[in-house]
């Protein structure tokens, strides 16, 4: 965020897209040096699955975005959403029949994995909305330039980094579910706090402090969420499970942001500071709702699995 702010201020917002180039180059060098080559396996790539998943999700995102401009009853909105649903149903049918499915449906048999995918989808949708709309508030309401807006996210970034480093030590003493639930709850509290901003809100009280809570929550959430996403997966499906985890990460970001943009657009389209605040509060309230649903999913889907697993372990120890 900070580097992006520097490049936007000094060059253009387009320059931010080049940040990934040096990072990608370093990753290529490190991958060649450290990653072990795996045995090659023969098979047929699931082209229909790749095409159906891409077009299906793309159509749904188009429909949601179109709804913010033309309304939910607009022909293009209805057509896009309907086509997206049909394509995703076709994807499921294809994955049942594919010899080497790009998305093995057996991955969803585990409550822990299914819950982790759903939570990651919801969480990333909320977080992408957070970055998008808070940036608008900092620049268009508080009057900050891009560099100042980038620096404004430091409270969250620093706390997130510190907490993420501490999670492995915490996980030796605290169950993964407790870390996940606490992280979701803290993010929810911080997001709801942010949704209460007004046109005369100060940065320190209404933005900086909520960001600290969000950073703390995010630092606690991702490690256990990743662990649950690949829990009990076989070596054969490990790559697919990891890929599905990252796919839900990206889909949650895009679909969630599209939903929140549509939600904010319904408030109004004028460029006044008051209207921008109204859009920000509406969108962040929506982000809070996504986080609340994610927390409910954690308790309804993952917690029962954890309790059952703990009971099985206790029973096995008693039999010994």
pLDDT at 314: 60
Q: Measuring CA to CA, which residue among 119, 97, 95, 99 is closest to residue 107?
A: 95
- Global confidence as pTM: 0.87
pLDDT at 318: 58
pLDDT at 312: 63
The CA distance from 298 to 111, in Å, is 10
Question: What is the distance between the terminal CA atoms of the chain, rounded to a whole angstrom?
Answer: 54
pLDDT at 65: 82
Q: What is the DSSP letter of 316?
A: H
Asked if residue 117 lies in contact with residue 244, where contact means CB atoms within 8 angstroms, the answer is: yes
pLDDT at 114: 92
Q: Measuring CA to CA, which residue among 97, 77, 75 is closest to residue 85?
A: 77
Tokens representing residue 78 in the block: 């209805």
Q: Measuring CA to CA, which residue among 196, 207, 162 is closest to residue 284?
A: 196
Distances (CA, A) of 34 to 21, 26, 29, 86, 116: 20, 12, 9, 43, 29
User: Within its chain, how far is the Cα of 117 from the centroid?
Assistant: 10
Phi and psi, residue 18, nearest 5°:
-85, -5
* Residue 132 exposure: Cα atoms within 13 Å on the Cβ side: 23
Q: What is the mean pLDDT of each run of 10 residues along the chain (320 residues)?
A: 80 87 95 85 84 92 83 89 95 90 88 92 95 93 90 92 93 92 97 94 92 96 92 83 88 89 78 89 96 96 82 62
């Amino acid at each position: 965020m900070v580097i992006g702010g520097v490049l936007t201020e000094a060059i253009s917002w387009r320059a931010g897209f080049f940040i990934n180039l040096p990072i990608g180059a370093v990753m290529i060098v490190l991958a060649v040096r450290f990653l072990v080559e795996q045995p090659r396996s023969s098979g047929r790539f699931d082209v229909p699955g790749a095409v159906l998943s891409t077009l299906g999700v793309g159509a749904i995102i188009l429909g949601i975005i179109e709804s913010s401009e033309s309304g939910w009853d607009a022909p293009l909105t209805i057509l896009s959403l309907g086509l997206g649903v049909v394509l995703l149903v076709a994807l499921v049918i294809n994955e049942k029949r594919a010899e080497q499915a790009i998305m093995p449906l057996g991955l969803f048999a585990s409550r822990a994995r299914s819950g982790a995918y759903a939570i990651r989808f919801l969480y990333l949708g909320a977080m992408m909305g957070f970055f998008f709309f808070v940036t608008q508030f900092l620049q268009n309401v508080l009057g900050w330039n891009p560099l100042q807006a980038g620096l404004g996210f430091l409270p969250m970034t620093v706390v997130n980094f510190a907490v993420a480093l501490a999670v492995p030590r915490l996980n030796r003493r605290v169950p993964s579910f407790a870390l996940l639930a606490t992280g979701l709850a803290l993010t929810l509290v911080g997001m709801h706090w942010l949704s209460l901003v007004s046109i005369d809100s100060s940065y320190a009280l209404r933005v900086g402090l909520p960001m600290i809570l969000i950073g703390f929550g995010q630092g606690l959430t991702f490690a256990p969420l990743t662990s649950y996403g690949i829990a009990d997966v076989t070596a054969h499906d490990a790559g697919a499970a990891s890929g599905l985890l990252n796919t839900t990460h990206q889909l949650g970001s895009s679909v969630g942001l599209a939903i929140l943009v549509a939600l904010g657009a319904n408030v109004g389209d004028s460029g006044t500071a008051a209207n921008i605040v109204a859009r920000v509060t509406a969108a962040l309230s929506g982000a809070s709702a996504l986080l609340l649903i994610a927390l409910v999913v954690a308790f309804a889907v993952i917690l029962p699995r954890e309790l059952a697993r703990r009971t099985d372990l206790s029973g096995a120890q008693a039999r010994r």
